Chain A
Amino acid sequence: MSALSPTLDAAMAAPARGVDTGLRRSRPAHALFVLPFVGLYAALVLWPLLQGFWISLHEHDLLSDEHHFIGLENFANLIDDEFFAQVLWNTLRFVMISVPVFVVVSLALALALNRPGRLGALLRGTFFAASVLSVTIVTLVWRLALMPERGLVSQLLAPLGLGEVGWLTSERLALPTVALVTVWWIIGLPMMLFLAALQQIPADVHEAAALDNASRWRTFTAVTLPALARTVALVAVIELIRECQVFPQIMLLTNGGPNNSSRPLAQFIYEQAFVQLSLGYATAASQVLFAIMLVGVSLQLWLERERKERA
């Protein structure tokens, strides 16, 4: 403050002295209003985050609770661990399959169901309903449906000669199949986000496009889609975060198999911590997962900002 001239100092202080209702001035007591949130956030998010990073620098046995500092050795071991490389690749594959499908299919559903009337409402409710089901029910239903020969899917595909395909038992098909089940299960939320965004577009803009002789496709690409750009980014980020952490449906449908072909990073972390009881190694792996998600989200937000600036 000493760098400021006395007059400037006085000028800055003047408005507060002029009409002092006490409302505009910042007081230490105002911090009380944000304290409950900051307290909870620090205790439940920040502290575990730091704690996790700290644990990852240790060799920590969960059973005996013995631990000693080993620096970055856990991370070095992860780099050499072929099993870790495989689960990492599985997770990335799962994200690359499911996130684009989520964006495209939920947008298509929203476009198709963004209409007044009972049928639209019924279908919107139906597509959202699956999200309400617990993962155990969803996986139970799909395990039955995907059973070779006797399952619903096999019976439907039998005329095409696909009746005996082992959807969950083939190394090549297990992960994509789980991705499709996941899309079926939780497509409701992104669909609702797109529906909300579609309803934000004023009707008269579409009417103006109709008067401007724009075809349906041209109206979609030139008017509707640009208005949905932010929602596309939002859905992609949400799904990226969710699908990086994929775990329960895989555990229940394939338990990571066959031959680890569908084992995700989250399952690896769980097994390292609570089966192998090496907590330090597990937390090191979860730091990697955290870093991947951070990079992915940042990349997406950066792309969105670039796109906006270009336009």
Chain B
Amino acid sequence: MSALKLDKVGKRYGAVKVIEQLSLDIAAGEFVVFLGPSGCGKTSLLRMIAGLESVTAGRVLIGGQDVTALPPGQRQLAMVFQHYALYPHMTVRANLAFGLRNVGVPADEIARRIDEAARMLELAPLLDRRPEQLSGGQRQRVAIGRAVVKEPAVFLFDEPLSNLDAALRGRTRVELARLHQRLGATMVFVTHDQLEAMTLATRIVVMNGGAIEQIGTPAEVYRRPATRFVAGFIGTPAMNFVEVARTGDAAGQAVVMLPGGERLVTRVPAAALGESTSLGGGRLSLGVRPENLRLVGAHELSPAPALHGRVDLVEFLGERTIAHVRLADDSVIGVTVQGASPVRGERVGVAMDLDQAHLFDAQGRAFHAGPVDAAGLTERVAA
């Protein structure tokens, strides 16, 4: 039985559709992250699960029980808000106890749960202070503590890290991951920060325009993005897209023409593309991440460069360097530099790891090359 199930859930404000017919199954113990740009409907969806906003269609089930019509307090949920939403005139202890008192938990049980949460989240020295006497990070821990003591069926997090500074955000992220491991609880987390999504999630739900673009593990959405939107949204620096035209097939694989006029035999099976490209008049996008490209001499033979261009800009990012290369059609792609940095204006060739090169049709649908090994990915994401 799933811990949380959304059954054809929809939301509209008057004539404006925010979310249309969305279904999702979340198993017990999962850490699911709703990821998407501002306005994609991820926060609305979370608030609909919480009961803070009504659904205009479909059903919300928690632990198999239909809670669509239940008020927020009776859904066995706890939520951590973006701006903490602590009760300002209550002490930390009273903040934690408030929800438990409201449902008639006995005093000794309340004390036990508060002690346990305080130990876990290092809140003990703060219990008699008020929110105004706490730093941002401490307030966030109290907000998390307030959720933990309720021992809910599902934890909801609404961009809880966005108000913290970079260092604290990193630390709290690790604490949240630990908390999830320790409690083994079901968690739903909303963010627009892909790093948070990648590091915390067991599954990521990538949303755009009120609909789900892809549901998958971090490795899946990174390595086999289902759509061009997902491919472009996930990964920093972003995936490169090069406009190409399909010219034919070679040994069952699609052949495309690159901006410079060269032909490239991809590893994408031609059969999969089939009719799809004829819809777009043969126009496709070739998508490759910067780390799957490398600079080579313009006339190198092995590996032979697939693309040619001129170095526009070299960015030093610390653990790696990205060269921005301007191609024949004036588009610019980012290439990870291995070895000596090129100089600005230098003519270079760009070789491509064809196993990691994707094609996207005019509708944004993705076509992948070869099988994926998920093992190598975790390292790169963690870095």
Interface-lining segment among A128-136, A177-185, A212-220, A245-253: A212-220
Q: Which residues of A contact B89 (CB under 8 A)?
A: 226-227, 229, 311
Write the nearest CB–CB distance from A221 to chain B, whole angstroms. 12
Interface-lining segment among A28-36, A53-61, A202-210: A202-210
- Taking CB as reference atom, which chain A residue is nearest B52? A207
A211, CB-defined interface residue at 8 Å: yes
Q: Which residues of B contact A311 (CB under 8 A)?
A: 89
Which residue of the partner chain, among A202, A205, A213, A226, contacts B99 with CB atoms under 8 Å? A213
A211–B78 touching, CB < 8 Å: yes
- Taking CB as reference atom, which chain B residue is nearest A212? B99
Q: Which residues of B contact A209 (CB under 8 A)?
A: 87, 98
Alpha-carbon separation in the docked complex, A172 to B301 (Å):
110
A222, CB-defined interface residue at 8 Å: yes
B79, CB-defined interface residue at 8 Å: yes
Alpha-carbon separation in the docked complex, A209 to B50 (Å):
12
- Other A-B pairs, 15, CB within 8 Å; known A205-B88, A211-B72: A202-B83, A204-B83, A207-B52, A209-B87, A209-B98, A210-B72, A211-B77, A213-B72, A213-B103, A214-B73, A214-B98, A214-B99, A215-B102, A222-B98, A223-B87
Write the nearest CB–CB distance from B83 to chain A, whole angstroms. 6
B81–A204 touching, CB < 8 Å: yes
Alpha-carbon separation in the docked complex, A226 to B132 (Å):
15
CB-CB contacts below 8 Å: A141-176 with B: none
Q: Which residues of A contact B81 (CB under 8 A)?
A: 204, 207-208
Which residue of the partner chain, among B73, B79, B83, contacts A213 with CB atoms under 8 Å? B73
Q: Which residues of A contact B90 (CB under 8 A)?
A: 222
A207–B72 touching, CB < 8 Å: yes
B71, CB-defined interface residue at 8 Å: yes
Q: Which residues of A contact B87 (CB under 8 A)?
A: 205, 208-209, 222-223
Interface residue ranges, B against A (CB under 8 Å): 50-52, 71-74, 77-79, 81-83, 85-90, 98-99, 102-103, 146, 150
Which residue of the partner chain, among A202, A211, A215, contacts B50 with CB atoms under 8 Å? A211
Q: Which residues of B contact A211 (CB under 8 A)?
A: 50-52, 72-73, 77-79, 99
Alpha-carbon separation in the docked complex, A151 to B5 (Å):
64
Q: Which residues of B contact A227 (CB under 8 A)?
A: 88-89
Alpha-carbon separation in the docked complex, A223 to B73 (Å):
16
- Taking CB as reference atom, which chain B residue is nearest A201? B88
Alpha-carbon separation in the docked complex, A160 to B163 (Å):
61
A207–B85 touching, CB < 8 Å: yes
CB-CB contacts below 8 Å: A229-282 with B: 229
Q: Which residues of B contact A204 (CB under 8 A)?
A: 81-83, 85
